[in-house]
Amino acid sequence: MVKTAVIEAPGGPEQLKIVDREVGDPGPGEVRIRHKAIGLNFIDIYQRTGLYPLQMPHALGMEAAGVIEAVGEGVTHLKAGDRAAYAAAPPGAYTEARVMGAAQVCPLPDAIPFDVAAAMMLKGLTTQYLFHRTTPLSAGDTVLFHAAAGGVGLIACQWARSEGIRLIGTAGSPEKCALAEEHGADLCINYRDEDWVARVREATGGAGVEAVMDGVGKDTFDGSLDCLKPLGMMMSFGNASGPVPPLNIAVLGQKGSLKVTRPTLFTHIADHATCQQMARQMFDKVESGALTLRIDQRFALDDIADAHRALEARKTTGSTVIEL
């Protein structure tokens, strides 16, 4: 029996309950993994509140790291005793151990600690597809990244710096802006005190940016379109402020033949070989020192509701992990 955090109905953090569940043996194509650390992400909140509906009751959590206890038939890239980490669907990472599909579980290099791996799998793989699999970006390009001091944001700042891409960020306080700039943002704008659209235009000499990476959603979408140069790409990959309202597609033509995409990580990592290649690139950046993970909040599994409250109130910086 293992301790697991589940929800039985959508709602607030109080819906998270700790229960004991039995863990069986892995079947074909599956592994059993004993978790050492679990990552916390905004998608967990979307699922808890019902924005992303789940069949109830359901465990939450999309990423974790630990040790493989057993492998099922047909699993060749992992064996019992291996260190491993993953970001994968369906949810179920808020637990001490689980049986799950092996395709998106990745061998973890010895040099990367479990807490670092748990903090970076979903956020780091998201950053990888934003920079490499969504629209062509190269050294010298400029991107706008919202919530630049958050978990994905601090990874994105470093990722951009490692590839010669100029990143302009937004954040909600001078302290968060300073943090983003310390991690590689060329400029970070306090959206509470400044007209961030005007500042982006000013910072780009009126030209605008090649791409916007926006995990905030409703509050930033319209302004983000005004920050793009003609033919620019709007990547709307999250809804921290709420879902984006319906879009009149003619606006894209009026603003310069803009492009808009709503990507999800799980489309990009659905293919086993692609997932493993994306993870290797991310691990290489960590091992080279180009990417470091800032873990500013740590909680016990019993305190998972408090972790959700902190993230939802935007009181966190960097990454948050659940330690076991």
Q: pLDDT by residue (tens digit) across 114-136?
A: 999 999 999 999 999 999 999 99
pLDDT (0 to 100) of residue 308: 97
Return the beta strands (E) in 82-238 as ranges: 83-87, 97-101, 105-107, 142-145, 166-171, 187-190, 209-214, 228-236
pLDDT tens by residue, 93-110 = 999 999 999 999 999 999
pLDDT (0 to 100) of residue 320: 93
**What is the torsional sign of CA 190, 196, 202, 208?**
positive
pLDDT tens by residue, 277-320 = 999 999 999 999 999 998 999 999 999 999 999 999 888 888 89
Cα(184)–Cα(195) distance, rounded to whole angstroms?
Answer: 22
- Highest CATH level, class, for 2-121+266-323: alpha beta
pLDDT tens by residue, 188-205 = 999 999 999 999 999 999
pLDDT (0 to 100) of residue 110: 97
pLDDT (0 to 100) of residue 241: 82
pLDDT (0 to 100) of residue 74: 98
pLDDT (0 to 100) of residue 240: 80
pLDDT (0 to 100) of residue 318: 80
Mean pLDDT, rounded, for 161-186: 97
Instruction: Report CA Rg, the chain.
Output: 20
Q: What are phi and psi of 256, to 5 degrees?
A: 120, 35
Residues above pLDDT 90, as percent of the chain: 92
> For residue 262, is pLDDT > 90?
yes
Q: Under CATH, domain 135-262 is a member of which superfamily?
A: NAD(P)-binding Rossmann-like Domain (3.40.50.720)
pLDDT (0 to 100) of residue 42: 87
pLDDT band of residue 242 (cuts 50, 70, 90) is confident
> For residue 27, is pLDDT > 90?
yes
Residue 246 token pair: 């319906």
pLDDT (0 to 100) of residue 293: 92
Under DSSP, is residue 86 helix (H, G, I), strand (E, B) or coil?
Answer: strand
Cα(135)–Cα(132) distance, rounded to whole angstroms?
Answer: 7
pTM of the full predicted structure?
Answer: 0.92
> For residue 226, is pLDDT > 90?
yes
pLDDT (0 to 100) of residue 162: 98
In the chain, where the domains are located: 2-121+266-323, 135-262
191, exposed or middle or buried, with CB in 10 Å at 0-12, 13-18, 19+? buried
95: which DSSP letter? B
What is the overall mean pLDDT for the chain? 96
pLDDT (0 to 100) of residue 183: 96
